[in-house]
Every structure is written in structure tokens, then in C-alpha cells.
Amino acid sequence: NAGVTQTPKFQVLKTGQSMTLQCAQDMNHNSMYWYRQDPGMGLRLIYYSASEGTTDKGEVPNGYNVSRLNKREFSLRLESAAPSQTSVYFCASSEMGHQPQHFGDGTRLSIL
Amino acid sequence: GIQVEQSPPDLILQEGANSTLRCNFSDSVNNLQWFHQNPWGQLINLFYIPSGTKQNGRLSATTVATERYSLLYISSSQTTDSGVYFCAVGGGNTPLVFGKGTRLSVIA
């Protein structure tokens, strides 16, 4: 039982390149989330999907797009990467919106 | 939106000591969770506790929703307790908002 799996674990991009971060969960959860973590800022929500077929903006959605591919998978895309998007990205899932969230191990992304 | 404040921001303990971490929030909530981020960066859900008291081994948490705060107690601390502890809250149908965390260092 892997829980929440994120790929890749590390990535270095050049400014202007595009990239998709992948997230999959095997807990049959309905809700999935993408966060970014910057030093001293805690975690900030980028986008979330309350259920399959729906997505909503979080606190910091600019520069990102998401796709809820199916119940298991929720991807995050950077269309034109900027140095300000250098961060650690976490995917999480929960059974419903008001249930415990379970996190993947994160993707460390550097944009030069 | 909801504001979340955690205190203290940093805490250094000798192994075996007890500690209390506090989370204050600015509005009514129906979702409150505590997380531990270990030194390797992994985030572990400790408690889902919108109200009341829960215990899990040496850790316990209490949320007093009417007074808008939650406390996380760590007893007989161990070096493996080191890391950052986050409180996250949500109200209505809004998603979780995270505090900035308390960084705990337990020294042998």
C-alpha cells in the first residue's frame, strides 16, 4: 500500500520550460490537493479537487494548471516555469474534504 | 480568510522533557489537523481534531473550538520527535490553511 506517490522527486528546469508533476493515490480517496512549501511560509494551497471531475483554485494558483485525470491521479502543470516557482511541491489526498489529509513525499523543483 | 498562528516558532528540549505547542485561529472551524514534518521532509498526519481531546501514545491534542485554539502535547520527548509541527484549519467548505509551524529540536 503506497499511499500517495509523487513523481519525480527532484527536477531542475530552465526558465520558460514546461513540466508536469504527477500524483497518484491508492486509498480510493475522493479529494486531492497540491501545495507548495517555501522556507518560512508553511504550506500554501495551489489547487484542489474535491471530487473526480472538479478542480478549484487555492491560495496561489497563478502560473499553474491542474488535471484530475481520474479518481487516482491529479497532475500539476507549469506551462512556463519561473524562478519564483522554485519550491517543494506536495500532493495530498483525503477521503472527503473534512477528513485527515495524507501527503506524498514531495517534489523538490529548482528553476534556474 | 482564516488566520492561523502557531507558538512558539522554535523550541529546543532535552530528551525526556514535555512540551506544549499552541495553535490559535481567527474564525470558527470545523476542520483542524496537526502534522509532523520530519527532518527528511515527510509530512505525517498526527491528529484530525476539530474539537475535543485525542491521544496517540506520547502525543495528545486538545481543541477548544469556542475559544479558537488547539494544543499539542508531547510527553517524554525523544530525538525522533524533532522536526516541524504544523497546525492546519478549515471552516465551512473551505480548504485547510496552514500555520507557519513550530520547529522542535530534541537533544540527547
Tens digit of each residue's pLDDT, chain B (108 residues): 899 999 999 999 999 999 999 999 999 999 999 999 999 999 999 999 999 999 999 999 999 999 999 999 999 999 999 999 999 999 877 899 999 999 999 999
Is the pLDDT at A99 greater than 90? The verdict is no
Q: Taking a C-beta distance cutoff of 8 angstroms, is the pair B103, B19 a contact? A: no
Q: Taking a C-beta distance cutoff of 8 angstroms, is the pair A107, A10 a contact? A: yes
Q: What is the pLDDT of residues A41-92, one digit of tens each?
A: 789 999 999 999 999 999 999 999 999 999 999 999 999 999 999 999 999 9
Residue B52's region, left for phi above 0, alpha for psi from -120 to 50, else beta, is: left
Q: Do A42 and B45 touch (CB under 8 A)?
A: no
Largest CA distance in chain B: 43
Quote the pLDDT of residue A19. Answer: 97
Report the C-alpha gap between A61 and A1 in whole angstroms: 31
Among the partner-chain residues A43, A45, A106, the one whose CB lies closest to the CB of B86 is: A43
* Averaged pLDDT of chain A: 95
Pairs of CB atoms within 8 A across A/B = 49
Q: Hunting for cell 497546525 — which residue is that?
A: B87
